[in-house]
Structure 1
Amino acid sequence: MSSHSVHIEEAVRPEEDSEHADLTERTPLLNDLRSHESEHAHLTVAVIKTEMKALITLGWPVSLGYVVSMSILLAQIFTVGHLGTRELSSIALTGMFCNVSGYSIGIGMASALDTLCSQSHTGSKDPHALGKHLQRGIVVMFFLCFPIGILWWFAEEFLLLMGQQEEIAAMSGRFAKVALIGLFPYLINECLKRYLQAQGIMKAGMVVVSFAAVLNIFLQWLLVWSPLSLGVIGAPIATTIVNCTLPLLTAVYIKYVAGGSCWGGWDWKEALDMRQIWGFLKLGVPCVAMTCSEWWAFEVVALAAGWLGEAELAAQTIALTTCSLAYVIPLGLSIAASTRIGNALGAYATQTARAAALASVLVAACLAVVNCSLLLIVRNRWGWLWTADPAVVKLVAAILPFAALFQLSDAVGAAAAGILRGCGRPDLGAYINLGGYYVIGLPLGLTTAFKFGMGLTGLWLGLTVGLISVSTITLVIIWNMSWGKEAERARDRIAHERAMFEDETDRLQSSPTGPPPSYE
């Protein structure tokens, strides 16, 4: 992707080779990452094809896992929706509130592990570096849950301040308090997933969420529809129980299937190392800004759609859900790109990182064309799958062409965001998202929707223009990246932890009692 030449003698450093001379479980990965470094400096079609295959192999289990995870939310909506309109409105409002004030922040913060773990897995001498990053991630999530918990505990009061109806606000408040129980376990699982993904273990999340989805269906029936029913409150209780089981299932996978070798046991000194936690936060806060700026923009549009009328809100819900379904495949590619590029930069395989970046954009472009074409083909019939209201169906048909155009940039933008995370540059993504959505997209959408009377079409026009701006600027930045400099950034990022590991190893070796027993 870079416009700068990458010379092979610069890309493969002798000291890096000697550093990994001993055979370890990472040796096959390192050999794979460096397989392109002996090629000519200009990327070949064969190299790009190899990276495209690698990304697809890494990405498809993640995408399928996200599809299955969406079924957990849909099962809750389906269950509550058959109890009544007020109940459905309450659960939808709770979902929006919890997403904006909690899940988006936690998921964004956990994304720091996409950089830290993927680069450390190939660049650190410490075999347990990933486990230490995971521990610090869990500590950060624990303290992050306190401010989020306060917001969720007083959700009813916040929703009343936002002008929501008293009965709906009261019911949503009860739902949020139940959801609070599962918040910390859910965020722990987000950290565990990234710990595994950095090692290239992508199927774990798919396997775990598949078990959880089956459990969720059973619990939704048991707590809402069976003779033991708890009523409407049973639906969020079922989802909370599932969220609490997710980290337990993932931990079992790590212990008995794959991924356990990078875990060295819990170490309070490492987990509470403020210098390392500060480094985590320096990546995590921009990741939060990058994730939330996009997530919140869609919530603003949903709120604005509600001001237009019930039909517009229904059509917006259908269109947004459709785009969310279409996004899960590019999302898997995004995570695969961050893992592959992070691993490559950690191993100082600059040629592979550049090839993976280009390959991820090409695969995303192909996915975008497919998604766009499908939405254009079904635009006149799609609404009937969701509603019997002709007015809503007509609105859906009117905005799906914009949603189709949106897909072209959404898929490419997802790949670009994965590239930035792999490089450890979420700060760039945060600035670009804030400018694209809040300086261009939302002002344009709100102006065309309300001032020029374009309604819901105007809102989607603004979103589409904003995302096109975001993806275009991001691609220009990535195209001009110097991958050698990005590898040096990765090298500097893990240099401190490597030095600490070497010092500790020397101290233990010189100790009269010798080194401690192996963790194996």
Structure 2
Amino acid sequence: MEDSREPLLSQREDQNHNHHHEDLDRLHSLPISTSSTYSFVPDADDIPPINGIRDFFREFYKESKKLWYLAGPAIFTSVCQYSLGAITQVFSGQVGTLALAAFSVENCVIAGFSYGFMLGMGSALETLCGQAFGAGQLDMLGIYLQRSWIILGTTASLLSLLYIFAAQLLKLIGQTAAISKAAGIFSIWMIPQLFAYAMNFPMAKFLQAQSKIMVMALIAAAALVLHTFFSWLLMLDLGWGLVGAAVVLNASWWFIELAQFLYIISGTCGRAWNGFSCKAFQNLWGFVRLSLASAVMLCLEFWYFMALILFAGYLKNAEVSVDALSICLIILGWMVMVAFGMNAAVSVRVSNELGAGHPRTAKFSVVVAVISSLMIGAILALILILTRNKYPSLFSTDSQVKEIVNDLTPVLALSIVINNIQPVLSGVAIGAGWQAIVAYVNIACYYVFGIPLGLIMGYKLDMGVRGIWYGMLSGIVAQTVALFFMVYRTNWNKEASIAESRIKRWGGHD
């Protein structure tokens, strides 16, 4: 794949760069979503014009193969890494109720917050590495990776204060003294996992940009198998309890980081890794700004669903409402794994093709990803509707909880459909480098519109948990419509030009 990409930038620049050079810097300051008459000559390898149904289905099939080559392993990797914490939680429940509560609180509140923020910071690399790879600027990928390590390592050092003072923080938000103390001690033990996040997310984006997804899946699978065995051995057989949970979970994450790092420096990435360089310390502030925009964009989405659980806890019969809502969100989380895989795939495809000067291919990749995700979401939602009287029994024996889950199934099904489209559009935004704009869209749609509407429907109109969810789902719909409009209005020729300008601004060569 590298051999076919490397000549693209030089071929295009020889023809176009001289008379476009002054326009590129000016274009970078223009609003992304506005139309433009800017003339960009696409690369000769761009997708040909589609005339008729036959051409559409032929190109749809070709692009689907490219997307699923990336999305399949990405979904598997996400499931494996997600399962590390889930397996530890299962074994913690066998240790004791306090151990389970301490792990759950640390995993959801402390580690969950840090995971979302660090993942967002790392997603800046998704834009830069993807576009640089598409443009044939392979030598810049390693520089970007090292810059991201510096920034995320510094961020992890600051976030470690959250782990150190976790006990006091948990007491402040209303947790019991016993749970706060146990979770606080466990949080300190989990600080190595925080620094593993700082290593992992940049490497994941670095490898994704080069379509080296399969090696990530194999490493994640090996980590999951080892994690399961050693969790049983240390936590139950040897009786180490939460200490064993911390040791195994930290070791599993660092196993993933070391395996990926050894793969990267072994020479398998070619010119993408040329060793450590002092260039990594250049342009750090600009890199920090893009990273922060990415973090805000993703964190606003993570916190939005955390708020749903929080608000449900203040309803009448709160325990039943929270249990039912938790079941629905677990199902939603597992099913959206497919969308997250497609998110990663379309982000790589869009950034690669924009960097390579293929605006029509980038646009068509978005069309294929949205249609595929919509079909998958509709199928999953239909299955859920057809089994609405049966699947709640898999999670609870309480009749009230099962009844509420049954009542929530239609909104859950609708959420699955919407949340299979929204991450794909977010992936397009990341691939094109629109993180800052999408952060503002998220604030408006989620926190100015969605949450207030949910509170009004849930409390004022006395619709309970369904009202809260319907209101907040309205925010997701509004955000999806806004992203769809941005994508629809995008001038992809201009985006390809901006990608070329961005690569040179961040240290790429002509």
Q: TM-score, normalised by structure 2?
A: 0.88
1:366 aligns with 2:378: no
Do the aligned residues in 2 keep the contact of 1:254 with 1:260 (CA within 8 Å)?
no
* 1:477 corresponds to: 486
Q: Does 2:304 match 1:301?
A: no
Q: How many residues align?
A: 475
1:244 to 254, 258, 271: 254
Residue 79 (structure 1) shift: 0.7
Deviations 1:87-123 (A, max 9, x none): 3222221112224531111000000011000001122
Determine which of 77, 83, 87 is the counterpart of 1:75: 87
- Aligned partner (choices 53, 58, 62) of residue 50 of structure 1: 62
Question: Could you tell me which of 115, 138, 142 is aligned with 2:127?
Answer: 115
Q: In the aligned structure 2, how far is the partner of 1:307 from the partner of 1:89? A: 20
Cα pair 1:12 1:37 within 8 Å, conserved: no
The letter for the 2-side match of 1:178 is W
| 1:341 matched residue in structure 2 | 350
CA contact (8 A) 1:223 1:234 kept: yes
Q: Which residue of 2 aligns with 1:356?
A: 365
Q: Is 1:377 the equivalent of 2:359? A: no
The answer to whether structure 1 residue 468 and structure 2 residue 477 are counterparts is: yes
Shift of 1:251: 1.8
Partners of 1:34 and 1:334 in 2: CA distance? 27
Mapped partners of 2:191, 2:156: distance in 1: 9
CA distance in 2, matches of 1:12, 1:240: 42
Q: Distance in 2 between matches of 1:481 and 1:246?
A: 38
C-alpha deviation, 1:416, in angstroms: 0.2
Picking from 115, 138, 158, the partner of 1:103 is 115
Give the superposition deviation at 1:398.
Answer: 1.3
Q: Distance in 2 between matches of 1:156 and 1:16?
A: 57
Tell me the residue number matched to 1:3: none
1:495 corresponds to 2:507: no
Q: What do the CA deviations read for 1:397-421 (whole angstroms, capped 9, x no partner)?
A: 1112111101111111011000011
Q: Check 1:12–1:356 CA distance in 2 against 1; reply closer, same or farther (3 A cut).
A: farther
Letter in 1 for 2:337: V
Pick from 436, 439, 455: which aligns with 2:464?
Answer: 455
The aligned residue for residue 188 of structure 2 is 177
Greater mean deviation of Cα atoms: 326-335 or 281-290: 281-290
Could you say if the C-alpha distance between residues 12 and 380 of structure 1 is closer, same or farther in structure 2, counting changes exceeding 3 Å? same
Q: Distance in 2 between matches of 1:195 and 1:17?
A: 28
Match of 1:93 among 105, 109, 120: 105
Matches of 2:267 and 2:139, distance apart in 1: 17
CA-atom RMSD, angstroms?
2.3
Q: Structure 2 unaligned runs (5+)?
A: 1-7, 17-42
Give, in angstroms, the shift of residue 202 of structure 1.
Answer: 1.2
Counterpart residue identity of residue 283, structure 1: L
Partner of 1:235: 245
Deviation string 1:231-290 (CA, Å, 9 cap, x unpaired) is 2332233111111211101123334584354101011x21211x2x22322321111111
Q: Aligned partners of 1:421, 1:42: CA distance in 2, in Å?
A: 31
In 1: Cα distance, 2:72 partner to 2:328 partner: 24
Identity level (%) = 27
* 1:15 CA displacement: 3.2
After TM superposition, list the pairs within 5 Å mapping 1:314-463 onto structure 2: 314-463=323-472
Query: What SS does the corresponding residue of 1:182 show, helix, strand or coil?
Result: helix
Which of residues 288, 292, 296 is equivalent to 1:285?
292
CA distance in 2, matches of 1:432, 1:296: 15
Measured against aligned partners, the alpha-carbon deviations of 1:364-422 in whole angstroms (never above 9, x if no partner) come to 11111112112212222222111211111111111121111011111110110000111
213, 225, 230: which one pairs with 1:202? 213
- Tell me the distance in 2 between the aligned counterparts of 1:340 and 1:291: 20
Q: Post-superposition shift, 1:468?
A: 1.0
Runs of 4+ in 1 over 4 A off after TM superposition: 11-14, 40-44
Kindly provide the amino acid, as one letter, of the partner of residue 292 in structure 1.
C
1:220 and 2:231 correspond: yes
1:128 aligned partner, one-letter code: D
Does 2:151 align with 1:144? no
Which amino acid counterpart does residue 265 of structure 1 have in structure 2? G
Tell me the secondary structure at the aligned position of residue 388 of structure 1.
coil
Unaligned 5+ segments in structure 1 are 1-10, 20-32, 503-520
User: If the length of structure 1 is used for normalisation, what is the TM-score?
Assistant: 0.87
CA spacing shift, 1:449–1:257, aligned 2, 3 Å: farther
Q: Aligned partners of 2:205 and 2:361: how far apart in 1? A: 21
SS of equivalent to 2:495: helix
**Aligned partner letter, 1:110:** G
Other structure's SS at 1:70 match: helix
1:131 aligns with 2:142: yes
Q: Could you say which residue in structure 2 is the equivalent of 1:15?
A: 12
Say if 2:260 is the partner of 1:263. Answer: no
Q: Deviations over 1:30-76 (max 9, x none)?
A: xxx96444446999402233222211221111011111222212101
Matched, 1:313 2:322: yes
